[in-house]
Amino acid sequence: EIVDAIGKALASGPLAGRRIVVTSGPTHEPIDPVRYIANRSSGAQGAALGDALAGLGAEVIFVTGPAEVPPPKGVKVVKVDTAAEMRAAVMDALPADAAVFAAAVADWRVEQPATGKIKKTPDSLPTLQFAENPDILADVSALREGRPGLVVGFAAETDDVLANATAKRARKGCDWIVANDVSPATGIMGGQENMVTLISDDGADAWPRMGKDQVARKLAAKIAEALGPVSR
């Protein structure tokens, strides 16, 4: 904590004094003790973003599902598995100046995970009853008290990327959507590069294909610009 305090005192950059929540990675939703449903997400874009925001001086609370890419240095890491746990961790981390939801959260969970391993029986296949997961982006966007000044969602789409992402922004009530095309053909999922379109009140700004770390630095700079200087 002393080191923390020193770190904060020394923090400089356009985001010094700002607290930003970042979610990253997939969530794992249990089917039984040995099986689960997951989203493909290496956590690379989220980790790069956490790193870029911390690099600009922000205090970053990094809420991450079980990602392949390790969390960045210099952030507060909160590890979770399920969407429900991620929502709780995000709410715990508020208030914040901004929240960036880069995690690939499962839309559905299995309603009643089995407590024992589901056995394979001849001529019988399991049926899974699903329940809708909490919508963390919509919930935080709709907060009446303690809503972060800037709420940023991600939209990983495979079809009609711009239309789906624009509709998602309106539906969730967030300020910005970072849309990207994760069709297998793009090689973006699991890769080092990303090609995103930033959707805001100003319309849709398509960025060229670039490294995920470059996307992160560019987005972090935009966030710093949007939040402006800390009033002291």
E strands, 108-232, are 108-110, 130-132, 150-157, 176-181, 193-194, 196-200, 203-206, 210-211
* Candidate ranges 30-38, 52-60, 142-150, 201-209; the one touching a second copy (CB under 8 A): 30-38
* Binding status of residue 120 toward a second copy by CB under 8 A: yes
Question: What separation in angstroms does the CA of 50 have from each of 29, 105, 110, 201?
Answer: 24, 17, 30, 24
Look-up: residue for tokens 């200087």? 229
Tracing tokens 């929240």 back to the chain, one arrives at 99
Interface with a second copy (CB under 8 A), residue from 130, 142, 192, 230:
130
End-to-end CA distance of the chain: 23
39: annotated active-site residue: yes
- The reply on whether position 106 binds a second copy by CB under 8 A is yes
Nearer to a second copy, 8 or 108 (CB): 108
Q: Of 11, 16, 31, 162, which lies in the binding site for a second copy, with binding defined by CB under 8 A?
A: 31
Helix (H) or strand (E) holding 22: strand 19-24
Choice among 39, 133, 180, 194 that is catalytic: 39
Residue 136 CA to residue 141 CA, distance in Å, equals: 8
From 44, 48, 86, 104, residue interacting with a second copy (rule: CB under 8 A): 104
User: In angstroms, what is the minimal distance from the CB of 68 to a second copy?
Assistant: 8
Q: Smallest distance from the beta carbon of 45 to a second copy, in angstroms?
A: 14
By CB under 8 A, tell whether 187 contacts a second copy. Answer: no
Place of tokens 């935080």: 140
Q: Which is nearer to a second copy, 128 or 204 (CB)?
A: 128
Task: Name the 3-class secondary structure at 60.
Answer: strand
Applying CB under 8 A, among 70, 95, 126, 146 the residue interacting with a second copy is 126
Residue 3 interacts with a second copy (CB under 8 A): yes or no: no
Query: Which residues within the stretch 133-162 sit at the binding site for a second copy (CB under 8 A)?
Result: 156-159
Distances (CA, A) of 162 to 81, 99, 124, 180, 196: 30, 22, 42, 8, 10
Q: How far is CA 102 from the centre of its chain?
A: 2
Bridge-based pairing state of the strands 76-79 and 59-64 = parallel
Joined tokens for residue 207: 């960025």
User: Looking at beta carbons only, is 4 or 68 nearer to a second copy?
Assistant: 68
The contact set with a second copy (CB under 8 A) reads: 28, 31, 33-41, 104, 106-108, 116-117, 119-120, 125-128, 130-132, 156-159, 164, 182-184, 189
Enzyme catalytic residues: 39
